[in-house]
Amino acid sequence: MQGLNVIADFDSSLGGFAGASYGGPHIFSRKGRQIRVSVFELPDPRDGGCMLAFGDIGCHPLVRIHSRCLYGDALGSDDCDCGQELERSMDLIQAEGAGVLVYLEQEGRGAGLAWKARGYRVGEMFGIDTFDSYRRLGLRVDSRHYDVAARAVRALGLTRVRLLTNNPDKCRALAEAGIEVDPVPLTITLASPRGKRYLQAKRVHRHHTIPVDDQVDNGRRRTWWWPGRRR
């Protein structure tokens, strides 16, 4: 699929994205390499953001759906895998010369940075993970939805993707939008004790595809998603 066709396909589907705008294409430079990118705004008060289409994405591209994380993406935190997942995804997209990044404004699993910080503090006080911290704060453990992202990917004319994720909810959202999903798990190693615990908490609470860490594991084995499966 050529770049101009991507734009045309997306423009023809803008009915689901009132107020959406398009920017590009232009050259993007990273790690000494260049790649062409087109930017699509995804306006939504809860789960909006932007979608970046790199290169000529073809019919079975790499796709990363990523929730914003200031600590991980910008500050290089060792306590979560967000920054490493984003960097790994971009490395793979650049190596292939094409792909899609959907970047969503869903800081703190949709709760926002201030609530995320409160969750960290409660976790330190009671020795619990951020999922249990959110429950103590009266929050949903994860308030994100991926229907906006799924519709955006589908609006590019894509019916099959290689999804860079450990998160079964993202796979399910794309599948429900009529997109065939080939999951590509991202194996990340974190250095800090909190980071190691967080990876296992995501595996246990949200069924992410993350290898068991015997130094942290509470006995539950890892799980995964496949089309048609429901939890």
Residues 101, 107, 113: CA angle, nearest 5 degrees: 150
C-alpha 88/C-alpha 83 separation (Å) is 9
Note whether 78 and 91 are within 8 A (CB): no
Distance CA 225, CA 216 (A): 23
Q: Which of 64, 118, 144, 194 is catalytic?
A: 144
Q: Catalytic residue at 81?
A: no
Catalytic pick from 44, 47, 73, 142?
142
Q: How many CB atoms lie within 10 A of CB 104?
A: 24
End-to-end Cα, the chain, rounded Å? 35
Q: Is there a contact between 23 and 38 (Cβ–Cβ < 8 Å)?
A: yes
Q: Is residue 64 annotated as part of the catalytic site, yes or no?
A: no
Residue 205 in contact with residue 220, Cβ under 8 Å? Answer: no
**Pairwise CA distance, residues 101 & 121, whole Å:** 31
CB 109, CB 137: distance < 8 Å: no
Q: Which residues are catalytic?
A: 142, 144
